[in-house]
Amino acid sequence: MSSKTEQREPEHVQTLGHEEYDPIGTAILIGIYFLILVLLWIFMYFVEFLGNGPTVVGMALTVVGLA
């Protein structure tokens, strides 16, 4: 596989192996993404959706009413 995957770019200035590479930037970006997801989810569910009533509700109440 090596012949298929070897790759050297002119801009290449250092080689980092799995051990010495710490994807801290990725962790920060993904953390921000996580926060965005949580906040947008809460906004969409509790403001956009639950605030968009009337909403279809269960039949349980009707059944009780008819009984």
Partner 1 sequence: MATSPPTEVTAMRNAYVDQFPDEARVIKAAFWSSFIALAIGGTLGLVQALHRTDVFRFIQSPDYYTVLTAHGVLLAITFTIFFLVGTFTWAVTTSLDRGVVDVRFTWAWYIMMVIGTVLVAIAIFSGFLESAPSVLGSELNADVLFTFYAPLEAHPIFYIGLVLFVVGSWLAGVDWFRTWLAWRSENPDERIPLPTFMVLTTTLFWYICTFGVALSILVFLLPWSLGITESVNPLLTRTLFWYFGHAVVYFWLMPAYMMWYIMLPKFSGGKLFSDPLARVVFVLFLLLSTPLGIHHQYLDPGIAEGYKFIAMTNTMFLLLPSLLTAFTVVASMEHGARQRGGEGYLGWLKALPWRNPIFTGMALAGLMFAAAGFSGMINAGMNINYLVHNTWWVVGHFHLTVGTAVALTFMAASYWFIPQLTGKELWNRSVALGQVLLWFIGMTFMSNAMHRSGLFGMPRRTAEPQYQGFDFEPAVGTVGEINMQVALGGVILTLSLALFLLNMIMTSIGDDSESIPDNTYAGTLSGAEDSPRILDNLKLWTAIAVVLVIIAYTLPLASIIDAGGLFGPGIEGVRLSTWVDPAVIESLGEVIR
Partner 2 sequence: MNIHTYEKVWLVAAMVLIVGFIATITYGAVGPGIAMIDDEGGDINPDEINDDERFAEPGVEHVGGNEYEVAVVAQAWSYTPSQIEVPANSEVTFYVTSRDVTHSFSVVGTNVNTMVIPGQVSEMTVKFDEPGEYGILCNEYCGEYHHTMEGKLNVVPEDEFDMTELSVEADDEVESGNETTITANVENGMQEDLETTVSLEIGDETREEAVTVPGDGSEEVAFTVDSADLGEGDHDWTVTVDDYEESGTLSVVTPDGNESADGGDGDA
Binding site for partner 2 (CB under 8 A): 18, 22-24, 26-27, 30, 34, 37-38, 41, 45, 49-50, 52-62, 65-66
**DSSP letter string, 9-23:** -TT------TTT---
Q: Angle 12-32-28 (CA atoms, 0-180°, nearest 5)?
A: 40
Closest distance between partner 2 and the C-beta of residue 49, in Å?
7
Sign of the alpha-carbon torsion through 64, 65, 66, 67: positive
Where do contacts with partner 1 occur on this chain (CB under 8 A)?
1-7, 9, 11-18, 21, 23-26, 28-30, 33, 36-37, 40-41, 44-45, 48-49, 52, 55-56
